[in-house]
């Protein structure tokens, strides 16, 4: 099935949190650096403020990267907007990021339940349906988001589906009578019905066997978070469809060396 978000030459290079090795994570400075390098895909996180704004912020609490303390979702947008990551960089709105670069694609990790009902409005106002992929470590958050989205959107597999992919086999039949079908085909159908178009997994999961099984199910495989040159090469050689990295300069150099660097249109 055609998926606009994935309509880009493989392998895909993702700037994880904008490219956190070179600028404070999930900030304008990070995303702008990735855009200048030609990155077509930006990865970020989404958390809600107490008054219903969707921010690009990873942690539940503020203290690791800002001067403030406590949960993000107990602060108003005005309070969050006044904070600075690493003492210098403001925290962006997801909506502003989507609007800033209409030719860039965003991988958005839903970090809390409160952000889910805010997402459809953000995508509607920015017209970004075809250039986002929604991911989460929570299967329930993915299911909730899918129910609320009133337009097709690329989504990743749930943790449960990843486990199923790891155990998938291509023999035998599932069901009875005319309903029988090979288990691989059954799993592929269920993944498609759930809108899952890619499996985004840590390096320890992305074995050659896993990548082969995912491809048989019609899934792209994106591996995170790979900051070592040798590991980047290893996963690319294994057939990974994308790499997420904080070290966006090194990944770009590796892909250029391999003749596999595909910058965004207009870069």
The CATH topology of domain 4-44+94-258 is: TIM Barrel (3.20.20)
Is residue 58 annotated as part of the catalytic site, yes or no?
yes
- Which helix (H) or strand (E) covers residue 200, if one does? strand 196-202
Which of the pair, 19 or 265, is modelled with greater confidence? 19
H/E segment holding residue 257: helix 248-258
Please confirm, yes or no, whether 8 is among the known catalytic residues: no
pLDDT (mean) for 94-121: 98
pLDDT at 184: 78
Catalytic residue selected from 8, 22, 58, 215: 58
* CA-wise closest residue to 45 among 29, 27, 65, 63: 27
User: For the residues 248-264, what does the mean pLDDT come to?
Assistant: 97
SS3 191: helix
pLDDT at site 38: 98
Q: Residue 35 above 60 pLDDT?
A: yes
pLDDT in tens, 178-191: 454 567 788 888 88
Domain residue extents for the chain: 4-44+94-258
């Amino acid at each position: 099935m055609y998926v606009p978000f994935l309509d880009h030459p493989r392998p895909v290079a993702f700037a994880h949190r904008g490219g956190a090795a070179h600028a404070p994570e999930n900030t304008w400075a990070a995303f702008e650096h990735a855009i200048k390098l030609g990155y077509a895909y930006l990865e970020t996180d989404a958390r809600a403020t107490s008054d219903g704004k969707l921010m690009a912020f990873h942690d539940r609490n503020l203290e690791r990267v800002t001067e403030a303390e406590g949960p993000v979702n107990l602060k108003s947008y005005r309070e969050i907007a006044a904070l600075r990551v690493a003492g210098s960089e403001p925290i962006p709105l997801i909506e502003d990021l989507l609007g800033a670069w209409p030719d860039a694609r965003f991988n958005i990790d839903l970090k809390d339940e409160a952000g889910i009902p805010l997402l459809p409005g953000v995508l509607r106002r920015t017209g970004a349906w075809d250039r986002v992929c929604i991911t989460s470590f929570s299967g329930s958050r993915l299911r909730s988001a899918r129910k609320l989205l009133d337009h097709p959107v690329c989504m990743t597999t749930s943790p449960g589906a990843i486990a199923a992919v790891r155990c998938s086999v291509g023999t035998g039949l599932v069901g009875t009578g005319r309903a029988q079908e090979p288990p691989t085909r059954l799993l592929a159908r269920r993944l498609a019905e759930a809108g899952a178009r890619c499996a985004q997994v840590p390096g320890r999961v992305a074995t050659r066997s896993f990548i082969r099984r995912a491809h048989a199910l019609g899934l792209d495989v994106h591996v995170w978070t790979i900051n070592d040159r040798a590991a980047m090469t290893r996963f690319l050689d294994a057939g990974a469809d994308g790499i997420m990295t904080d070290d966006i300069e090194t990944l770009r150099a590796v892909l250029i060396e391999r003749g596999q660097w595909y910058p965004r249109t207009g870069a």
